[in-house]
């Protein structure tokens, strides 16, 4: 069957989005602190997208995708970029985990998980971070020991986004303590309904509870829970981090976006502050930064569409997103004034929560310092930072 003509496909995307995405609004943290309601909406939207033949566009048909090329993916992004898509809660599942299953999974794993993930039936989360392993992920202490044909896993993960509502986690664990720090690791797909998995919420400063501590107490896994070769978990993990940075840096949309600047410019107008020259300059700088970030993100996307694997350049839009978040936060206080710190602002802006949330952009998915190291060493090819032994 030949792929649909791009114009016809664009019409199909438009009609679908008009019917299912128009007018959608995100949940506020107050009404949905654990993110469960937002995830249900995301699953439902993704399921409809799958039924309409618009999910997993570039994924092979044998695994439930549409088997189309990057042009169709681009058209979807261009059209979807006009809407708030309600799929933010699926970004780790589809942006970080799914590409790793496609790249490293066995045929059985792909048949088990790919279609279920792209239709929103299975949600995956990422379990790298531990109390003693954040930026230095390879320091993980969670142990997986061989047990018959399978494995037993014991340890603790932390900051696991949406673990409480996900079906599966992709877990980095130490399988050979006698090997080098990076050499003794293996990656696993863990079913969260398994005995011995305990999930406890972490309360965030902005009032949400989207992430968790996850404890594994002698969790029994079959041999086919391993994803990628045993002992090569570091290779799988670094691939996942590259996908994560690209997913974070480029988002789900395509095109030139400047939503933070737009929001503050509208607020400045409403408050009669849009004639203030220094403030205008700051707003223009935020607008410019957002446009530049969009252009870098488009370039990153175009490289992927041209078949290049995700590389260190994904750190550029990721870092830019964190810097824009910080600039937005500071400017919001300037535009709104003291009212912005009120927890239940009657300005309808939720400025205080947003300001606190913006801080997380410089930490989640790898801190800004780590992105700077990657850009310095791997994009600009500057001398390497000293490394911890391992
Ligand atoms: C909202 C949010 C969601 C998250 N979701 C997940 C998730 O789903 N799964 C998951 O596994 N993790 C998740 N994380 C955890 C996140 O990946 C880690 O917090 C992050 O990698 C930093 O690790 P850390 O907190 O241990 O800080 P550390 O690594 O201890 O860093 C502390 C400080 O030291 C700096 N630093 C560390 N090493 C260097 C270096 N080599 N050079 C320069 N500076 C350095 C860091 O930049 C930081 O400022 C999430 C975090 C947040 C905020």
pLDDT score recorded for residue 252: 67
237-246, 266-275, 370-379, 381-390: least confidently modelled range: 381-390
Longest dimension (CA), the chain: 72
Please give the number of the atom of ligand 1 that sits closest to the Cα of 163: 8
Smallest CA separation from ligand 1 atom 35, residue: 369
**What is the per-residue pLDDT across 116-172, written as a single tens digit (0 to 9) for each?**
999 999 999 999 999 999 999 999 999 999 999 999 999 999 999 999 999 999 999
**What is the per-residue pLDDT across 215-250, written as a single tens digit (0 to 9) for each?**
999 999 999 999 999 999 999 999 999 999 888 777
Please give the number of the atom of ligand 1 that sits closest to the Cα of 157: 11
pLDDT score recorded for residue 389: 60
- The answer to whether the CB of 187 falls within 8 A of the CB of 180 is no
378 three-class SS: helix
Query: Any residues with CB less than 8 A from the CB of 208 and at least 6 apart, and which?
Result: 29, 33, 34, 35
47-51, 282-286, 310-314: least confidently modelled range: 310-314
* Residues of the chain above pLDDT 90, percent: 77
Would you give the end-to-end CA distance of the chain in angstroms?
52
Identify the band that residue 346 occupies on the pLDDT scale cut at 50, 70 and 90.
low
pLDDT score recorded for residue 87: 87
Q: How far is the CA of 78 from the centre of ligand 1 (A)?
A: 32
C-alpha–C-alpha distance, residues 261 and 103, integer Å: 37
Does 196 have pLDDT greater than 60?
yes
- In this structure, the residues whose C-beta lies within 6 A of any atom of ligand 1 are 92, 125-129, 134-135, 159-161, 211, 360, 363-364, 366-367, 369-370, 373, 385
pLDDT score recorded for residue 9: 97
- The answer to whether the CB of 46 falls within 8 A of the CB of 120 is yes
C-alpha–C-alpha distance, residues 300 and 303, integer Å: 5
Smallest CA separation from ligand 1 atom 27, residue: 134
71-85, 283-297, 338-352: least confidently modelled range: 338-352
Candidate of 364, 371, 374 to mutate for ligand 1, largest count of ligand atoms within 8 Å of Cβ: 364
**What is the per-residue pLDDT across 285-327, written as a single tens digit (0 to 9) for each?**
999 999 999 999 888 888 888 888 888 888 999 999 999 999 9
Candidate of 363, 372, 387 to mutate for ligand 1, largest count of ligand atoms within 8 Å of Cβ: 363
**CA distances (Å), 155 to each of 7, 45, 209, in order?**
52, 35, 22
Q: How far is the CA of 378 from the centre of ligand 1 (A)?
A: 20
Candidate of 124, 135, 244, 369 to mutate for ligand 1, largest count of ligand atoms within 8 Å of Cβ: 135
- The answer to whether the CB of 105 falls within 8 A of the CB of 227 is yes
CB atoms within 10 A of CB 233: 28
* Stronger pLDDT, 218 or 28, i.e. the higher one: 218
Smallest CA separation from ligand 1 atom 51, residue: 364
For the residues 46-67, what does the mean pLDDT come to? 97
Q: How far is the CA of 108 from the centre of ligand 1 (A)?
A: 33
Please report the domains of the chain, with CATH numbers, ordered by start residue: 6-123 (1.10.540.10), 126-232 (2.40.110.10), 255-379 (1.20.140.10)
Give me the DSSP letters along 305-351: HTTPPP-GGGHHHHHHHHHHHHHHHHHHHHHHGGGGG-TT-TTS--H
pLDDT score recorded for residue 347: 56
């Amino acid at each position: 069957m030949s792929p649909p003509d791009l114009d016809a496909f664009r019409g199909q995307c438009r009609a679908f989005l008009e019917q299912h995405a128009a007018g959608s609004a995100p949940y506020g943290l107050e009404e949905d602190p654990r993110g469960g309601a937002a995830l249900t909406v995301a699953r439902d939207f993704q399921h409809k997208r799958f039924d309409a033949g618009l999910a997993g566009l570039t994924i092979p048909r044998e695994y439930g995708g549409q088997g189309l090329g990057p042009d169709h993916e681009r058209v979807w992004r261009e059209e979807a970029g006009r809407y708030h898509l309600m799929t933010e809660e699926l970004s780790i599942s589809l942006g970080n985990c799914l590409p790793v299953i496609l790249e490293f999974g066995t045929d059985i794993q792909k048949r088990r998980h790919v279609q279920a993930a792209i239709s929103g039936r299975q949600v995956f989360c990422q379990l790298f971070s531990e109390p003693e392993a954040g930026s230095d992920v390879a320091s993980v202490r969670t142990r997986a020991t061989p047990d018959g044909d399978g494995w037993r896993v014991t340890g603790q993960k932390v900051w696991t986004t949406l673990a409480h509502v996900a079906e599966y986690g992709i877990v980095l664990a130490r399988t050979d303590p006698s090997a080098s720090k990076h050499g003794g690791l293996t990656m696993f797909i863990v079913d969260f309904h398994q005995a011995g998995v305990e999930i406890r919420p972490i309360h965030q400063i902005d009032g949400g509870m989207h992430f968790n501590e996850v404890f594994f107490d002698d969790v029994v896994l079959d041999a086919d829970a391993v994803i990628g070769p045993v002992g090569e978990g570091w290779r799988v993990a670094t691939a996942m981090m590259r996908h994560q940075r690209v997913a974070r840096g480029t988002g789900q949309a395509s095109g030139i976006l400047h939503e933070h600047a737009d929001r503050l410019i509208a607020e400045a107008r409403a408050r009669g502050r849009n004639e203030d020259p220094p403030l205008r300059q700051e707003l223009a700088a935020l607008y410019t930064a957002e446009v530049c970030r969009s252009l870098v993100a488009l370039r990153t996307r175009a490289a992927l569409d041209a078949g290049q694997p995700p590389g260190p350049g994904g750190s550029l839009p990721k870092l830019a997103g964190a810097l824009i978040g910080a600039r937005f936060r500071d400017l919001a206080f300037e535009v709104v004034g003291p009212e912005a710190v009120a927890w239940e602002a009657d300005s309808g802006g939720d400025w205080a929560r947003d300001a606190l949330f913006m801080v997380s952009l410089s930490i989640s998915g790898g801190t800004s310092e780590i992105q700077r190291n990657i850009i310095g060493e791997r994009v600009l090819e500057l001398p390497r930072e000293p490394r911890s032994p391992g």
